């Protein structure tokens, strides 16, 4: 495959760039005044996600403002539970809620699939493709099975994912069956995004850091490997970024065993260690602390420089170690981009 003329896509294909391409997790979101205005007009987050015209506009906002090298689809990982049959809503100031919770066999078997829930996402993709600048890579995404399962089991986010971890020990067969359903839906969902026009996809495993090494192998690495194998069988040209937040010392095993084309590194990982420990030549994405971005000034410049130096000898996508915070100053994002691109 010849390398793409798009810097981000070429990097994910293994081609080191003179200047690392940049995109930021959650770059389409509430730190932007234009996003806040549109969300207020539409009446809430879920209304935005299900409005393809509005979701496409949100996806494009940071591209227009900053000229990012990648556009990340505006959606949510919890559309997969919706497609599997759970009701989803957002409590003001508290976040997502899902019902019924899946903590027993009857609850899982009682779910009635609603694949039509994903159609607005595919329409969003088509709208973005029609409007995206020619040099910008379009990224789709989904939650990885373990992280999605934690929400389906608890009915909401939880700090320690205790309900999911307890279920995995108490009833591993039920947990496996739930993971299998999420895995199958996720494969179909990502292939649908690819068919609609995304050029690369990211698997977010935001809660993988809560698992023991044995459980990490069982509930993170194994399902991720199966998803990637299925995607490669149907869309071998589409790079897959795996982002197992909190994996720490388990990161090299994840990179070796899942088949990812690139691995995302969170802010708790020493980038110099990551460069030495990860497979040679594997593209790496990350890993600026979102709070360093808020701090700005010399702190930000020095943090950016350390990351650039650590990954100078491998394909590198500059990104945050997790999502951008809502109180991030616009000027600090501009400072970050100028620093990475050698403009200051």
Instruction: Say which residues have a Cβ less than 8 Å from residue 303's Cβ, sequence separation at least 6.
Output: 288, 289, 292
Q: Are 169 and 153 a contacting pair, CB within 8 Å?
A: no
Q: What is the distance between the alpha carbons of residues 113 and 47, in angstroms, rounded to a whole number?
A: 21
Strands across the sheet containing 284-288: 70-72, 137-143, 200-205, 240-244, 262-264, 284-288, 316-320
Helix, strand, coil abundance in the chain, percent, nearest 5: 55, 15, 35
Q: How many C-beta atoms surround the C-beta of residue 344 within 10 A?
A: 9
Helix (H) or strand (E) holding 12: helix 7-12
Write out the E strands in the chain.
70-72, 87-91, 95-99, 137-143, 200-205, 240-244, 262-264, 284-288, 316-320
Q: Are 255 and 263 a contacting pair, CB within 8 Å?
A: yes
Token duo for residue 320: 């945050």
What SS3 state is found at 329? coil
What SS3 state is found at 74? coil
Q: What is the distance between the alpha carbons of residues 330 and 310, in angstroms, rounded to a whole number?
A: 26
Instruction: Give me the active site residues, please.
Output: 26, 30, 39, 76, 151
Q: Are 255 and 216 a contacting pair, CB within 8 Å?
A: no
Token duo for residue 246: 């909190």
Task: Using alpha carbons, list the distances in angstroms from residue 94 to 68, 114, 129, 237.
Answer: 30, 25, 33, 39
What SS3 state is found at 142? strand
């Amino acid at each position: 495959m010849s390398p793409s003329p798009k810097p981000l896509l070429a990097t994910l294909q293994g081609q080191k760039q003179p200047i690392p391409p940049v995109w930021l997790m959650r770059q389409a979101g509430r730190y932007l005044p234009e996003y806040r205005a549109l969300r207020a007009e539409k009446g809430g987050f879920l209304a935005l996600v299900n409005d393809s015209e509005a979701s496409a506009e949100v996806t494009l906002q940071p591209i227009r403002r900053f000229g990012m090298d990648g556009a990340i689809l505006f959606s949510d990982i919890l559309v997969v539970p919706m497609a599997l049959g759970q009701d989803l809503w957002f409590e003001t100031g508290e976040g997502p809620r899902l019902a019924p919770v899946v903590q027993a066999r009857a609850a899982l078997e009682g779910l009635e699939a609603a694949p039509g829930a994903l159609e607005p996402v595919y329409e969003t993709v088509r709208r973005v493709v029609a409007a995206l600048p020619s040099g910008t890579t379009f990224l789709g995404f989904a939650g990885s099975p373990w992280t999605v399962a934690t929400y389906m089991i608890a009915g909401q986010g939880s700090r320690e994912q205790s309900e999911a971890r307890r279920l995995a020990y108490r009833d591993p067969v039920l947990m496996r069956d739930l993971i299998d359903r999420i895995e199958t839906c996720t494969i179909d969902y990502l292939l649908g995004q690819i068919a609609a026009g995304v050029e690369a996809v990211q698997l977010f495993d935001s809660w993988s850091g809560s698992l023991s090494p044995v459980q990490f192998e069982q509930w993170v690495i194994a399902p991720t490997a199966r998803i990637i194998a299925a995607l490669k069988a149907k869309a071998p040209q589409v790079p897959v970024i795996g982002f197992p937040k909190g994996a720490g010392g388990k990161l090299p095993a994840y990179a070796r065993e899942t088949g990812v084309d690139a691995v995302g590194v969170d802010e708790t990982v020493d980038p110099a260690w990551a460069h030495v420990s990860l497979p040679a030549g594997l593209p790496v994405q990350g890993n600026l602390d979102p709070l360093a971005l808020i701090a700005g000034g010399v702190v930000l410049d020095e943090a950016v420089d350390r990351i650039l130096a650590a990954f100078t000898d491998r394909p590198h996508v500059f990104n945050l170690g997790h999502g951008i915070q809502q109180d991030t100053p616009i000027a600090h994002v501009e400072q970050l981009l100028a620093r990475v691109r050698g403009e200051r």
